[in-house]
Chain A
Amino acid sequence: MRRRQLTALVRKDLRLELRTRETIVAMVLFAIVMLAILQFGFGTRDDDLTRFTGGLMWVTLAFTAVLGVGRSYVAEREQRVLDGLLVSPVPRVVLLGAKAIAIFLYMTAVEIIVIPLVGIFFVKGPYWDSIGWIAIAALLANLCIALSGTLFSGLALFTRARDLILPVLFLPALVPVVIAGAGATHAVVGGAHDMSEWRGYCLFLAAYAILFALVSIATYDAVFDD
Protein backbone atom coordinates (compact mmCIF):
# COMPACT_ATOMS: atom_id res chain seq x y z
CA MET A 1 0.00 0.00 0.00
CA ARG A 2 2.71 2.45 1.01
CA ARG A 3 4.76 1.47 -2.00
CA ARG A 4 1.78 2.05 -4.28
CA GLN A 5 1.27 5.49 -2.74
CA LEU A 6 4.95 6.36 -2.95
CA THR A 7 5.21 5.28 -6.59
CA ALA A 8 2.07 7.23 -7.48
CA LEU A 9 3.38 10.41 -5.85
CA VAL A 10 6.82 10.20 -7.45
CA ARG A 11 5.27 9.39 -10.84
CA LYS A 12 3.02 12.43 -10.42
CA ASP A 13 6.01 14.73 -9.79
CA LEU A 14 7.92 13.33 -12.75
CA ARG A 15 4.89 13.60 -15.03
CA LEU A 16 4.40 17.22 -14.02
CA GLU A 17 8.09 17.93 -14.58
CA LEU A 18 8.07 16.21 -17.98
CA ARG A 19 5.00 18.15 -19.03
CA THR A 20 6.04 21.59 -17.81
CA ARG A 21 9.85 21.21 -17.85
CA GLU A 22 9.97 24.08 -15.39
CA THR A 23 12.25 23.00 -12.62
CA ILE A 24 15.12 21.05 -14.12
CA VAL A 25 15.64 23.42 -17.05
CA ALA A 26 15.69 26.40 -14.70
CA MET A 27 18.10 24.61 -12.36
CA VAL A 28 20.54 23.75 -15.16
CA LEU A 29 20.50 27.28 -16.58
CA PHE A 30 20.97 28.72 -13.12
CA ALA A 31 23.92 26.41 -12.46
CA ILE A 32 25.64 27.38 -15.72
CA VAL A 33 25.17 31.09 -15.02
CA MET A 34 26.50 30.52 -11.54
CA LEU A 35 29.63 28.79 -12.88
CA ALA A 36 30.23 31.68 -15.26
CA ILE A 37 29.78 34.21 -12.45
CA LEU A 38 32.21 32.32 -10.25
CA GLN A 39 34.75 32.25 -13.09
CA PHE A 40 34.43 36.01 -13.56
CA GLY A 41 34.57 36.55 -9.82
CA PHE A 42 37.67 34.47 -9.15
CA GLY A 43 39.35 34.05 -12.49
CA THR A 44 40.57 37.58 -13.07
CA ARG A 45 43.69 36.95 -11.00
CA ASP A 46 44.27 33.32 -11.79
CA ASP A 47 43.76 31.48 -15.04
CA ASP A 48 44.02 28.06 -13.50
CA LEU A 49 41.14 27.38 -11.12
CA THR A 50 41.83 23.65 -10.88
CA ARG A 51 42.53 23.80 -7.17
CA PHE A 52 39.17 25.50 -6.56
CA THR A 53 37.20 22.99 -8.64
CA GLY A 54 35.49 21.28 -5.71
CA GLY A 55 34.47 24.57 -4.18
CA LEU A 56 33.14 25.99 -7.44
CA MET A 57 31.19 22.81 -8.11
CA TRP A 58 29.58 22.54 -4.69
CA VAL A 59 28.83 26.20 -4.16
CA THR A 60 27.02 26.09 -7.49
CA LEU A 61 25.20 22.87 -6.65
CA ALA A 62 24.20 24.14 -3.20
CA PHE A 63 22.56 27.26 -4.60
CA THR A 64 21.01 25.25 -7.41
CA ALA A 65 19.60 22.91 -4.77
CA VAL A 66 18.01 25.83 -2.94
CA LEU A 67 16.39 26.89 -6.20
CA GLY A 68 15.11 23.41 -6.98
CA VAL A 69 13.95 22.64 -3.45
CA GLY A 70 12.13 25.97 -3.38
CA ARG A 71 10.05 24.80 -6.33
CA SER A 72 9.29 21.42 -4.89
CA TYR A 73 5.75 22.22 -3.68
CA VAL A 74 5.00 24.82 -6.28
CA ALA A 75 2.27 22.84 -8.05
CA GLU A 76 0.60 21.87 -4.78
CA ARG A 77 0.68 25.44 -3.56
CA GLU A 78 -0.23 27.40 -6.68
CA GLN A 79 -2.90 24.96 -7.79
CA ARG A 80 -3.97 24.37 -4.18
CA VAL A 81 -3.93 20.60 -4.32
CA LEU A 82 -2.27 19.92 -1.00
CA ASP A 83 -5.55 19.48 0.90
CA GLY A 84 -6.47 16.72 -1.52
CA LEU A 85 -3.30 14.82 -0.65
CA LEU A 86 -3.64 15.52 3.06
CA VAL A 87 -7.24 14.33 3.26
CA SER A 88 -6.25 11.03 1.67
CA PRO A 89 -4.94 8.22 3.88
CA VAL A 90 -1.33 8.66 2.83
CA PRO A 91 1.16 8.65 5.71
CA ARG A 92 2.99 11.97 5.88
CA VAL A 93 6.30 10.14 5.83
CA VAL A 94 5.34 8.72 2.42
CA LEU A 95 4.21 12.14 1.19
CA LEU A 96 7.49 13.80 2.10
CA GLY A 97 9.53 10.75 1.18
CA ALA A 98 8.14 10.98 -2.36
CA LYS A 99 9.15 14.63 -2.47
CA ALA A 100 12.65 13.71 -1.31
CA ILE A 101 12.91 11.14 -4.11
CA ALA A 102 11.85 13.78 -6.65
CA ILE A 103 14.45 16.25 -5.36
CA PHE A 104 17.09 13.52 -5.46
CA LEU A 105 16.26 12.78 -9.09
CA TYR A 106 16.25 16.48 -10.07
CA MET A 107 19.65 17.04 -8.48
CA THR A 108 21.04 13.98 -10.19
CA ALA A 109 19.72 15.16 -13.55
CA VAL A 110 21.29 18.58 -13.04
CA GLU A 111 24.64 17.07 -12.01
CA ILE A 112 24.78 14.90 -15.12
CA ILE A 113 25.21 18.18 -17.00
CA VAL A 114 26.97 20.34 -14.43
CA ILE A 115 29.71 18.00 -13.21
CA PRO A 116 31.16 17.40 -16.70
CA LEU A 117 30.86 21.14 -17.40
CA VAL A 118 32.90 21.95 -14.32
CA GLY A 119 35.64 19.69 -15.69
CA ILE A 120 35.57 21.39 -19.05
CA PHE A 121 35.48 24.90 -17.61
CA PHE A 122 37.92 24.77 -14.74
CA VAL A 123 40.15 21.71 -14.61
CA LYS A 124 43.58 21.60 -16.17
CA GLY A 125 44.94 18.11 -15.73
CA PRO A 126 43.27 14.78 -15.01
CA TYR A 127 39.53 14.88 -14.31
CA TRP A 128 37.64 12.34 -16.36
CA ASP A 129 39.32 9.26 -14.90
CA SER A 130 38.02 10.22 -11.44
CA ILE A 131 34.53 11.19 -12.54
CA GLY A 132 33.22 7.96 -11.01
CA TRP A 133 34.49 8.95 -7.58
CA ILE A 134 32.97 12.40 -7.94
CA ALA A 135 29.68 10.81 -8.97
CA ILE A 136 29.58 8.62 -5.86
CA ALA A 137 30.19 11.63 -3.63
CA ALA A 138 27.55 13.57 -5.56
CA LEU A 139 24.92 10.84 -5.12
CA LEU A 140 25.59 10.77 -1.38
CA ALA A 141 25.35 14.56 -1.25
CA ASN A 142 22.08 14.43 -3.18
CA LEU A 143 20.69 12.13 -0.53
CA CYS A 144 21.60 14.72 2.14
CA ILE A 145 20.14 17.56 0.06
CA ALA A 146 16.92 15.64 -0.62
CA LEU A 147 16.29 14.68 3.01
CA SER A 148 17.02 18.05 4.58
CA GLY A 149 15.60 20.03 1.65
CA THR A 150 12.25 18.26 1.86
CA LEU A 151 11.99 19.10 5.53
CA PHE A 152 12.96 22.76 5.19
CA SER A 153 10.81 23.39 2.12
CA GLY A 154 7.86 21.85 3.96
CA LEU A 155 8.50 24.23 6.85
CA ALA A 156 8.86 27.24 4.57
CA LEU A 157 5.76 26.39 2.53
CA PHE A 158 3.15 28.24 4.57
CA THR A 159 5.32 30.98 6.03
CA ARG A 160 5.28 34.58 4.96
CA ALA A 161 8.16 35.41 2.60
CA ARG A 162 8.81 31.69 2.10
CA ASP A 163 11.19 32.38 -0.80
CA LEU A 164 13.37 34.22 1.67
CA ILE A 165 12.87 31.79 4.54
CA LEU A 166 13.98 28.70 2.64
CA PRO A 167 17.58 29.79 1.90
CA VAL A 168 17.93 31.14 5.44
CA LEU A 169 16.89 27.75 6.85
CA PHE A 170 18.43 25.51 4.25
CA LEU A 171 21.84 27.01 3.48
CA PRO A 172 23.32 26.80 7.00
CA ALA A 173 22.30 23.13 7.06
CA LEU A 174 23.97 22.70 3.66
CA VAL A 175 27.34 24.04 4.84
CA PRO A 176 28.54 20.57 5.94
CA VAL A 177 27.41 19.11 2.59
CA VAL A 178 29.35 21.79 0.70
CA ILE A 179 32.44 21.20 2.82
CA ALA A 180 32.30 17.45 2.33
CA GLY A 181 31.31 17.57 -1.34
CA ALA A 182 34.09 20.01 -2.13
CA GLY A 183 36.55 18.04 -0.02
CA ALA A 184 35.74 14.76 -1.72
CA THR A 185 36.04 16.39 -5.13
CA HIS A 186 39.37 18.02 -4.30
CA ALA A 187 40.72 14.71 -3.15
CA VAL A 188 40.42 13.17 -6.61
CA VAL A 189 40.71 16.07 -9.08
CA GLY A 190 43.60 17.62 -11.02
CA GLY A 191 46.15 14.90 -10.40
CA ALA A 192 45.29 14.44 -6.73
CA HIS A 193 44.41 10.92 -5.73
CA ASP A 194 43.94 10.92 -1.99
CA MET A 195 41.51 8.05 -1.52
CA SER A 196 41.55 8.06 2.28
CA GLU A 197 40.49 11.72 2.27
CA TRP A 198 37.81 10.95 -0.33
CA ARG A 199 36.58 8.07 1.79
CA GLY A 200 36.48 10.26 4.91
CA TYR A 201 34.29 12.84 3.23
CA CYS A 202 31.99 10.22 1.72
CA LEU A 203 31.57 8.58 5.11
CA PHE A 204 30.71 11.97 6.50
CA LEU A 205 28.08 12.49 3.82
CA ALA A 206 26.63 9.08 4.62
CA ALA A 207 26.51 10.01 8.31
CA TYR A 208 24.75 13.27 7.45
CA ALA A 209 22.19 11.36 5.38
CA ILE A 210 21.56 8.84 8.15
CA LEU A 211 21.17 11.54 10.80
CA PHE A 212 18.78 13.56 8.65
CA ALA A 213 16.86 10.41 7.76
CA LEU A 214 16.30 9.93 11.50
CA VAL A 215 15.26 13.56 11.92
CA SER A 216 12.95 13.15 8.95
CA ILE A 217 11.26 10.08 10.35
CA ALA A 218 10.80 11.90 13.65
CA THR A 219 9.40 15.12 12.19
CA TYR A 220 7.83 14.52 8.75
CA ASP A 221 4.51 13.56 10.35
CA ALA A 222 4.29 16.93 12.05
CA VAL A 223 5.15 19.16 9.08
CA PHE A 224 1.65 19.22 7.59
CA ASP A 225 -0.23 18.40 10.77
CA ASP A 226 -2.32 21.56 11.18
Chain B
Amino acid sequence: MTDSPARIPGERAAMIWGVLATILVVAATIGVFLVAPEDADQGVIQRIFYFHVAIAITSLVAFAVSCVAGILYLRTRNDRWDDVGEASIRIGLLMSVLVVITGSIWAKASWGTWWVWSDPRLVTYLIVVLIYAAYFVLRSSAEDDRKMRYSAIYAIAGFASVPLSFYSVRVAESFVHPVVFTGSGANMPDSMLIWFVVSQAAMLALFIALLELDLVGRRSERALRRLALRLENA
Protein backbone atom coordinates (compact mmCIF):
# COMPACT_ATOMS: atom_id res chain seq x y z
CA MET B 1 0.00 0.00 0.00
CA THR B 2 2.96 2.30 0.57
CA ASP B 3 4.24 1.48 -2.88
CA SER B 4 1.24 3.06 -4.57
CA PRO B 5 0.64 6.25 -2.65
CA ALA B 6 -2.06 7.21 -5.11
CA ARG B 7 -4.38 4.74 -3.34
CA ILE B 8 -4.93 5.56 0.32
CA PRO B 9 -7.25 3.12 2.13
CA GLY B 10 -10.59 4.67 2.92
CA GLU B 11 -10.38 7.11 0.06
CA ARG B 12 -13.30 5.58 -1.77
CA ALA B 13 -15.43 5.44 1.38
CA ALA B 14 -14.70 9.10 2.08
CA MET B 15 -15.75 9.97 -1.44
CA ILE B 16 -19.01 8.04 -1.25
CA TRP B 17 -19.93 9.55 2.10
CA GLY B 18 -18.98 12.99 0.84
CA VAL B 19 -21.30 12.69 -2.14
CA LEU B 20 -24.09 11.30 0.05
CA ALA B 21 -23.65 14.09 2.60
CA THR B 22 -23.73 16.74 -0.13
CA ILE B 23 -26.94 15.37 -1.62
CA LEU B 24 -28.59 15.15 1.80
CA VAL B 25 -27.49 18.64 2.88
CA VAL B 26 -28.85 20.13 -0.35
CA ALA B 27 -32.09 18.19 0.03
CA ALA B 28 -32.43 19.23 3.67
CA THR B 29 -31.78 22.89 2.85
CA ILE B 30 -34.38 22.92 0.10
CA GLY B 31 -36.88 21.00 2.22
CA VAL B 32 -36.41 23.09 5.34
CA PHE B 33 -36.64 26.48 3.69
CA LEU B 34 -39.00 25.85 0.78
CA VAL B 35 -41.15 22.82 1.49
CA ALA B 36 -41.71 22.50 5.24
CA PRO B 37 -44.74 24.40 6.59
CA GLU B 38 -44.24 27.62 8.52
CA ASP B 39 -44.58 27.26 12.29
CA ALA B 40 -47.78 28.93 13.49
CA ASP B 41 -46.27 30.45 16.67
CA GLN B 42 -42.65 31.17 15.86
CA GLY B 43 -42.71 31.93 12.15
CA VAL B 44 -39.67 31.65 9.93
CA ILE B 45 -37.12 31.48 12.74
CA GLN B 46 -38.45 28.08 13.74
CA ARG B 47 -36.79 26.69 10.61
CA ILE B 48 -33.43 27.00 12.31
CA PHE B 49 -34.52 24.20 14.60
CA TYR B 50 -34.11 21.57 11.86
CA PHE B 51 -30.40 22.25 11.79
CA HIS B 52 -29.91 23.29 15.40
CA VAL B 53 -31.23 20.04 16.83
CA ALA B 54 -29.76 17.84 14.11
CA ILE B 55 -26.30 19.32 14.66
CA ALA B 56 -26.65 19.00 18.43
CA ILE B 57 -27.53 15.32 18.23
CA THR B 58 -24.74 14.69 15.72
CA SER B 59 -22.18 16.38 17.97
CA LEU B 60 -23.22 14.08 20.81
CA VAL B 61 -22.76 11.12 18.46
CA ALA B 62 -19.29 12.44 17.65
CA PHE B 63 -18.39 12.69 21.34
CA ALA B 64 -19.73 9.19 21.95
CA VAL B 65 -17.52 7.94 19.10
CA SER B 66 -14.51 9.65 20.67
CA CYS B 67 -15.27 8.04 24.03
CA VAL B 68 -15.44 4.59 22.46
CA ALA B 69 -12.27 5.33 20.49
CA GLY B 70 -10.62 6.32 23.77
CA ILE B 71 -11.56 3.03 25.41
CA LEU B 72 -10.33 1.11 22.36
CA TYR B 73 -7.07 3.07 22.33
CA LEU B 74 -6.36 2.22 25.96
CA ARG B 75 -7.14 -1.42 25.22
CA THR B 76 -5.10 -1.81 22.04
CA ARG B 77 -2.63 1.12 22.07
CA ASN B 78 -3.24 1.38 18.36
CA ASP B 79 -2.62 4.90 16.96
CA ARG B 80 -5.61 4.42 14.68
CA TRP B 81 -8.01 4.92 17.58
CA ASP B 82 -6.26 8.09 18.57
CA ASP B 83 -6.85 9.37 15.04
CA VAL B 84 -10.53 8.48 15.23
CA GLY B 85 -10.85 10.08 18.66
CA GLU B 86 -9.20 13.33 17.72
CA ALA B 87 -11.02 13.66 14.42
CA SER B 88 -14.37 13.00 16.11
CA ILE B 89 -13.78 15.58 18.80
CA ARG B 90 -12.61 18.12 16.24
CA ILE B 91 -15.84 17.70 14.29
CA GLY B 92 -17.98 17.44 17.43
CA LEU B 93 -16.47 20.63 18.82
CA LEU B 94 -17.08 22.48 15.57
CA MET B 95 -20.69 21.30 15.63
CA SER B 96 -21.10 22.30 19.30
CA VAL B 97 -19.96 25.80 18.45
CA LEU B 98 -22.56 25.83 15.66
CA VAL B 99 -25.19 24.65 18.17
CA VAL B 100 -24.35 27.54 20.48
CA ILE B 101 -24.44 30.02 17.59
CA THR B 102 -27.71 28.76 16.10
CA GLY B 103 -29.19 28.54 19.59
CA SER B 104 -28.17 32.11 20.25
CA ILE B 105 -29.82 33.26 17.01
CA TRP B 106 -32.95 31.40 17.98
CA ALA B 107 -32.89 32.99 21.44
CA LYS B 108 -32.58 36.45 19.88
CA ALA B 109 -35.60 35.81 17.67
CA SER B 110 -37.71 34.19 20.39
CA TRP B 111 -36.84 36.18 23.49
CA GLY B 112 -35.09 39.26 22.11
CA THR B 113 -31.66 38.60 23.64
CA TRP B 114 -28.67 36.75 22.25
CA TRP B 115 -28.00 34.88 25.44
CA VAL B 116 -30.37 33.38 27.99
CA TRP B 117 -28.75 31.80 31.01
CA SER B 118 -32.06 30.28 31.95
CA ASP B 119 -32.08 28.14 28.82
CA PRO B 120 -30.52 24.92 30.10
CA ARG B 121 -29.48 23.35 26.82
CA LEU B 122 -27.77 26.44 25.48
CA VAL B 123 -25.80 26.75 28.70
CA THR B 124 -24.99 23.04 28.62
CA TYR B 125 -23.56 23.40 25.16
CA LEU B 126 -21.38 26.26 26.28
CA ILE B 127 -19.93 23.97 28.96
CA VAL B 128 -19.55 21.17 26.41
CA VAL B 129 -17.62 23.51 24.13
CA LEU B 130 -15.33 24.41 27.03
CA ILE B 131 -14.80 20.74 27.96
CA TYR B 132 -13.82 19.72 24.46
CA ALA B 133 -11.79 22.84 23.73
CA ALA B 134 -9.66 21.82 26.71
CA TYR B 135 -9.01 18.50 24.93
CA PHE B 136 -6.92 20.31 22.36
CA VAL B 137 -5.07 22.30 25.01
CA LEU B 138 -4.16 18.99 26.64
CA ARG B 139 -3.08 17.46 23.33
CA SER B 140 -0.83 20.33 22.46
CA SER B 141 1.07 20.07 25.72
CA ALA B 142 2.10 16.41 25.60
CA GLU B 143 3.92 14.25 23.07
CA ASP B 144 3.69 10.90 21.35
CA ASP B 145 2.29 7.99 23.33
CA ARG B 146 1.59 10.14 26.34
CA LYS B 147 -0.42 12.58 24.23
CA MET B 148 -2.53 9.76 22.82
CA ARG B 149 -3.04 8.12 26.20
CA TYR B 150 -3.99 11.38 27.92
CA SER B 151 -6.32 12.25 25.05
CA ALA B 152 -8.03 8.88 25.35
CA ILE B 153 -8.49 9.23 29.09
CA TYR B 154 -9.76 12.76 28.74
CA ALA B 155 -12.18 11.78 25.97
CA ILE B 156 -13.71 9.21 28.34
CA ALA B 157 -13.91 11.66 31.27
CA GLY B 158 -15.19 14.41 28.97
CA PHE B 159 -18.00 12.25 27.70
CA ALA B 160 -18.99 11.50 31.30
CA SER B 161 -19.11 15.25 31.95
CA VAL B 162 -21.62 15.88 29.16
CA PRO B 163 -24.70 14.32 30.79
CA LEU B 164 -23.57 15.76 34.13
CA SER B 165 -23.49 19.26 32.69
CA PHE B 166 -26.84 18.67 31.07
CA TYR B 167 -28.57 17.54 34.24
CA SER B 168 -26.89 20.04 36.55
CA VAL B 169 -28.13 22.91 34.44
CA ARG B 170 -31.56 21.36 34.19
CA VAL B 171 -31.90 20.83 37.91
CA ALA B 172 -30.91 24.44 38.34
CA GLU B 173 -33.25 26.27 36.05
CA SER B 174 -36.89 26.34 35.14
CA PHE B 175 -37.61 24.80 31.84
CA VAL B 176 -38.00 27.46 29.15
CA HIS B 177 -36.48 25.62 26.22
CA PRO B 178 -38.96 24.75 23.49
CA VAL B 179 -39.82 21.11 23.92
CA VAL B 180 -39.58 19.42 20.56
CA PHE B 181 -39.59 15.80 21.60
CA THR B 182 -41.60 14.47 24.50
CA GLY B 183 -41.69 11.05 26.05
CA SER B 184 -44.61 10.05 23.84
CA GLY B 185 -42.86 10.97 20.61
CA ALA B 186 -42.17 13.89 18.34
CA ASN B 187 -44.19 16.99 19.15
CA MET B 188 -44.64 18.11 15.55
CA PRO B 189 -46.67 17.32 12.47
CA ASP B 190 -45.43 14.72 10.00
CA SER B 191 -44.74 17.39 7.36
CA MET B 192 -42.13 18.86 9.72
CA LEU B 193 -40.87 15.57 11.09
CA ILE B 194 -39.87 14.29 7.68
CA TRP B 195 -37.60 17.28 7.06
CA PHE B 196 -36.15 16.97 10.49
CA VAL B 197 -35.27 13.36 9.74
CA VAL B 198 -33.69 14.39 6.44
CA SER B 199 -31.55 17.09 8.03
CA GLN B 200 -30.57 14.72 10.84
CA ALA B 201 -29.48 12.17 8.24
CA ALA B 202 -27.62 14.92 6.39
CA MET B 203 -25.69 15.93 9.51
CA LEU B 204 -24.79 12.35 10.40
CA ALA B 205 -23.61 11.72 6.84
CA LEU B 206 -21.62 14.93 7.03
CA PHE B 207 -20.00 13.75 10.25
CA ILE B 208 -19.03 10.40 8.75
CA ALA B 209 -17.74 12.05 5.57
CA LEU B 210 -15.63 14.55 7.52
CA LEU B 211 -14.34 11.78 9.77
CA GLU B 212 -13.36 9.59 6.82
CA LEU B 213 -11.73 12.52 5.08
CA ASP B 214 -9.77 13.43 8.17
CA LEU B 215 -8.56 9.84 8.54
CA VAL B 216 -7.58 9.62 4.89
CA GLY B 217 -5.64 12.85 5.32
CA ARG B 218 -3.76 11.45 8.28
CA ARG B 219 -2.99 8.19 6.48
CA SER B 220 -1.63 9.98 3.46
CA GLU B 221 0.43 12.22 5.71
CA ARG B 222 1.93 9.15 7.38
CA ALA B 223 2.59 7.48 4.04
CA LEU B 224 4.31 10.65 2.90
CA ARG B 225 6.46 10.79 6.02
CA ARG B 226 7.44 7.13 5.58
CA LEU B 227 8.34 7.83 1.98
CA ALA B 228 10.46 10.82 2.99
CA LEU B 229 12.19 8.72 5.62
CA ARG B 230 12.89 5.99 3.09
CA LEU B 231 14.30 8.50 0.59
CA GLU B 232 16.48 9.93 3.33
CA ASN B 233 17.87 6.51 4.17
CA ALA B 234 18.41 5.56 0.52
Interface residue B168 (Cβ < 8 Å from any Cβ of A):
yes
Shortest beta-carbon distance, B117 to chain A, in Å? 11
Pair count A-B, CB < 8 A: 89
* Of the residues B134, B138, B145, B168, contact of A176 by C-beta under 8 Å: B168
Residues of B within 8 A of A207 (CB): 164, 167
B52 at the interface (CB under 8 A from A): no
Q: Which of A172, A179, A200, A208 contacts B131 (CB 8 A)?
A: A172
- Count A interface residues, CB 8 Å: 36
For residue A162, which residues in chain B have a CB less than 8 angstroms away from its CB? Answer: 141
A158-B142, A169-B138, A200-B171 known; A176 vs B161 contact (CB < 8 Å): yes
Give the segment of A13-21, A43-51, A211-219 that binds chain B.
Answer: A211-219
Q: Which of B74, B131, B172 has the most CB of A within 10 A?
A: B172
| Most A-side CB within 10 Å, residue of B134, B145, B152 | B134
Main secondary structure of the interface of A (DSSP, over half): helix
Q: Which residues of A contact B134 (CB under 8 A)?
A: 168-169, 172
- Given A173-B131, A175-B127, A219-B153, decide whether A158 and B146 contact each other with a Cβ distance below 8 A: yes
CB contact between A179 and one of B141, B152, B169 (< 8 Å): that residue: B169
Q: How many B residues touch the partner, as a band?
A: 20 to 34
Is there a chain B Cβ closer than 8 Å to A226's Cβ? yes
Contacts of A212 in B (CB 8 A): 157, 160
CA–CA, A225 and B73, complex, Å: 13
Tell me the interface secondary structure of chain B in the complex: helix
Q: How far is the CA of A155 from the CA of B142 in the complex (A)?
A: 10
Query: Which residues in A have some Cβ–Cβ distance to B below 8 Å?
Result: 148, 151-152, 155-156, 158-162, 165, 168-169, 172-173, 175-177, 179-180, 183, 200-201, 204, 207-208, 211-212, 214-215, 218-219, 222-223, 225-226
Question: What are 28 residue pairs bridging A and B, where the CB atoms are less than 8 Å apart in the complex?
Answer: A151-B153, A155-B153, A160-B142, A162-B141, A165-B137, A168-B134, A169-B134, A169-B138, A173-B131, A173-B164, A175-B127, A175-B168, A176-B161, A176-B169, A179-B168, A179-B172, A183-B171, A183-B172, A201-B171, A204-B171, A211-B163, A211-B164, A212-B160, A218-B156, A219-B74, A222-B74, A222-B149, A225-B149
